[in-house]
Each structure stands twice: as C-alpha cells, then as structure tokens.
C-alpha cells in the first residue's frame, strides 16, 4: 500500500479495521517470505557443498584422464598421438538447456537452469583399435566422464547464482514490508485513533453541555 492509499483510508472505525486487516495480511506475507528465504538459504548452503565436491571430483578425473593420455602418447608415439587428436570427428554430444521452477518456494517465482548432456547412441571411433593402445580408449572414456561432470558443475554454478539472486530479492521484499509498509500502517492507525479520540472527547463535551442546558430549563 502506497502513502497515497494510506491517506485515502477513511478516518472511521471501519478505516481502522481495514488497516488492521492489511497489517495482519502483511505479517502473514512476511512469515511466508521468511520461510521461502529459509528454503533458499538451505539450498544455497547445500549447493556450496555440492559444488566443492563436484570440483574436487572433476580435478581428480581430469588428472586421471591426463595420465591416461600421457601413457597412451608414450605407447603409440607422439606423432601418431597428435595425428589422432587432430583428426576430424563427428559431434557425439549435445547439451540441452532449459529452466524449471524451484520447488518449496511459494511467493517468489524462481526458475533454475538445467543442463542435460545428451550422448548420441552411436559413437564411432576414427581410429583402428588394433593400431592403438588400450590407454587411448581409457583416456577417451575418462574425457567423456570429465565432460559430463563439467556440464553438471556448470548447472550447479548457474543454479547457485540464481538462488543467490532470489535470496536478495526475498530479503528486499521482507525489509520493504517490515520496515516501510507496516510502519506506515501503524502511523496511519495512530493518526486515525488520535482523530477519533479527539472527536469522542468533543462529543462528550457536547453531550455534557446539552445535559446542563436541559437541567437549566
């Protein structure tokens, strides 16, 4: 409710009741927003742990993949290895990108990204497996695993950024209602109450004056 809307409230008991209902609604919204914020904070903290684990697993997998590549290079020779990695190959992966609504959050519409690595059904090698080392196959397998982990890590990092922005928006909404909207209502209610009390005192004085005049007659 804006300041203009508050000043438009009639200075009556009905106006006070209307403001009290709006304050009750505002407090209920704060409660729901606070619960949403709790959900977002829990998700944020869990994502921090997940991302840390994903990074550690990724580094470990990359290390293993590089070791396999080095061993394959030593076995089949540097020249042959470089020929193989420079050969043109068909795309065997695709990344599906989309969004989904975050569950557990009621008042804030949060759409988190999802990334899905799609691997084609038929993956053709461009080299003769009899002419190379099993270490090359192992290296390629680990690189595929690394790619999947990279996509998963990218999804987690995009999600934590979205959750962080949602937390910021939720806090702003709570602060606006708690420190601006409700105090405005309270001030307006006190103003109306003071006017009504003053009117009541004036009415009491009028009644006493009328009663004295009647007694005088």
User: How many CB atoms within 10 Å of residue 188?
Assistant: 22
User: 214 in a domain, yes or no?
Assistant: no
pLDDT at 183: 93
pLDDT at 100: 81
User: 217 in a domain, yes or no?
Assistant: no
User: 176 in a domain, yes or no?
Assistant: yes
| Mean pLDDT on 33-59 | 94
Q: Helices 13-76 & 78-86, crossing angle to 10 degrees?
A: 140
Domain count, the chain: 1
User: 67 in a domain, yes or no?
Assistant: yes
* Separation between Cα atoms, residue 38 and residue 211, nearest integer Å: 62
The top-scoring range by mean pLDDT among 103-112, 126-135, 207-216 is: 103-112
Instruction: Kindly provide the b/e burial profile for residues 71-96, where b requires at least 16 CB atoms within 10 angstroms of the residue's own CB.
Output: bbbeebeeebbeebeeeeeeeeeeee
What letter would DSSP give residue 126? Answer: S
User: 213 in a domain, yes or no?
Assistant: no
pLDDT band at 92 (very low <50, low <70, confident <90, very high): low
If one compares 173 and 132, the residue with the highest pLDDT of the two is 173
pLDDT band at 131 (very low <50, low <70, confident <90, very high): low
User: 141 in a domain, yes or no?
Assistant: yes
What letter would DSSP give residue 8? Answer: T
User: 13 in a domain, yes or no?
Assistant: yes
pLDDT at 66: 83
pTM exceeds cut of 0.85: no
Q: Tokens 């988190």: give the residue.
A: 112
| Mean pLDDT on 191-212 | 82
Q: Can you give the CATH number for the domain in which 72 is found?
A: 1.10.287.3240
- Expressed as residue numbers, the domain containing 197 is 3-207
Instruction: Kindly provide the b/e burial profile for residues 112-142, where b requires at least 16 CB atoms within 10 angstroms of the residue's own CB.
Output: bbebebeeeeeeeeebeeeebbebbebbbeb
User: 212 in a domain, yes or no?
Assistant: no
Q: Tokens 């519409």: give the residue.
A: 109
If one compares 45 and 9, the residue with the highest pLDDT of the two is 45
Alpha-carbon dihedral sign for residues 124, 125, 129, 134: negative
Among 29-38, 93-102, 155-164, the range scoring the smallest mean pLDDT is 93-102
pLDDT at 115: 81
The model's pLDDT over 55-74, given as tens digits with 9 standing for 90+, comes to 999 999 888 888 877 777 77
Q: Give strand ranges (E) for the chain.
A: 93-101, 111-119
């Amino acid at each position: 409710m804006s300041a203009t809307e508050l000043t438009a409230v009639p200075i009556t008991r009905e106006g006070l009741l209307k403001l009290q209902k709006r304050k009750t609604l505002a407090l209920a919204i704060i409660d729901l927003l606070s619960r949403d914020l709790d959900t977002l904070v829990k998700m944020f903290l869990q994502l921090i742990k997940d991302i840390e684990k994903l990074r550690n697993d990724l580094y470990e997998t990359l290390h293993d993949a590089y070791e396999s590549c080095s061993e394959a290079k030593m076995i089949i020779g540097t020249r042959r290895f470089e020929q193989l990695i420079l050969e043109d190959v068909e795309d065997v992966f695709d990344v599906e990108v989309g969004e989904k609504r975050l569950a557990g959050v009621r008042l804030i519409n949060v759409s988190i990204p999802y990334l899905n690595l799609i691997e084609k059904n038929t993956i053709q090698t461009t080299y003769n497996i009899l002419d190379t080392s099993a270490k090359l196959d192992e290296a390629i397998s680990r690189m595929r695993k690394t790619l999947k982990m990279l996509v998963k890590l990218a999804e987690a990092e995009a999600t934590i950024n979205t959750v962080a922005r949602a937390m910021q928006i939720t806090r702003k909404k709570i602060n606006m209602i708690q420190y601006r909207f409700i105090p405005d209502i309270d001030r307006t209610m006190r103003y109306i109450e003071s006017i009504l009390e003053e009117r009541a005192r004036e009415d009491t004085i009028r009644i006493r004056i009328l009663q004295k005049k009647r007694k005088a007659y």
